[in-house]
Amino acid sequence: MAPYPDVPATDAGLATLADLLAGPVVPAARGLLGCRLSAGGVTVRITEVEAYAGTAGDPASHAHRGRTPRNAVMFGPAGHAYVYFTYGMHWCVNVVTGPDGEASAVLLRAGEVIEGVEVARARRTAVRRDVELARGPARLCAALGIDRAVYGCHLLGDGPVRLRPAAEPVPDSAIAAGPRVGVTGAHDVPWRFWLAGDPTVSQYRRHVPRARR
């Protein structure tokens, strides 16, 4: 098992999750479906994710061109949070995966709020339906109160953001796959995974380059 000092050796579920995250990014992404993420008094069940392989030929990854101050946490160790700001207004959270030194991460795209619904509603006052509270990566972070402050947080410990195994394993038959959303490179790579038929999964939009004037 990978060396995670904050993971109790007696917690078989966390130990299994730690091993999963220390491996290749695609199996890790699929295995994160159904897992629970807690922060700021809210818990979501993860229903949609995207895998990014870092420098290994994945031009859609933030680590494609190598290590920078922004993406440094993506290079490991696994099980930590990579948080970034996008479009000048939104936070997104990823789970770092893979061997230490090899950049890869899984973007958490959507989730079902299963605890702290009233807290999430207070943070997302414009949302009319509970299924939309964490439907999309920015909404998920907003519902959980996640921002830059949790960059690098160890998710398998007892820190401000906690990742825990699914209550029950998700069968392969319940998982759908397709292209990633809104990326300019490798947008047809089918590394977006979601729980088929779940109403909290975000709507797919293929990236359309802006026409030059």
Taking the CA of residue 57 as centre, how many other CA atoms within 13 Å lie in the half-sphere pointing to its CB?
Answer: 1
- Tell me which residue of 80, 91, 206 sits closest to 143, measured CA to CA: 91
Distance (Å, whole) CA 199 – CA 107: 19
- So what's the pLDDT on residue 123? 97
Q: Is the pLDDT of residue 185 over 80?
A: no
* C-alpha distance from residue 15 to each of 3, 99, 126, 165 (Å): 10, 16, 39, 10
pLDDT computed for residue 196 by the predictor: 97
Burial (Cβ within 10 Å: 0-12, 13-18, ≥19) of residue 182: middle
- For 119, phi then psi, to 5°, come to -65, -45
In 53-206 the beta strands, taken as DSSP E runs, fall at 81-86, 90-96, 105-115, 161-164, 175-178, 192-195
Cα–Cα distance measured from residue 150 to residue 133, given in angstroms and rounded to the nearest whole number = 20
Q: What is the pLDDT of residues 117-143, one digit of tens each?
A: 999 999 999 999 999 999 999 999 999
Residue 186 confidence (pLDDT): 75
Residue 1 confidence class, pLDDT cut points 50, 70, 90: very low
Does the pTM surpass 0.85? The reply is yes
Res 167 pLDDT > 50: yes
Residue pair 55/61 in contact (Cβ under 8 Å)? The answer is yes
Mean pLDDT value across the chain:
89
29: three-class secondary structure by DSSP: helix
- Which of the four pLDDT bands, split at 50, 70 and 90, describes residue 64? confident
pLDDT beyond 90 at 212: no
Q: How confident is the model at residue 9 (pLDDT cuts 50, 70, 90)?
A: very low
The answer to whether residue 5 scores a pLDDT higher than 60 is no
**Amino acid at residue number 34:** G
Whether 182 shows a pLDDT value over 90: the answer reads no
pLDDT tens digits for 31-54? 999 999 999 999 999 999 999 997
38 forms beta bridges with 43, 162
Q: In Å, what is the CA distance from 89 to each residue of 86, 129, 141, 178, 198? A: 6, 22, 12, 27, 27
Please report the pLDDT score of residue 4 as a whole number: 46
H or E stretch covering 114 = strand 105-115
The domains found in the chain, sorted by start residue, are 12-195 (3.10.300.10)
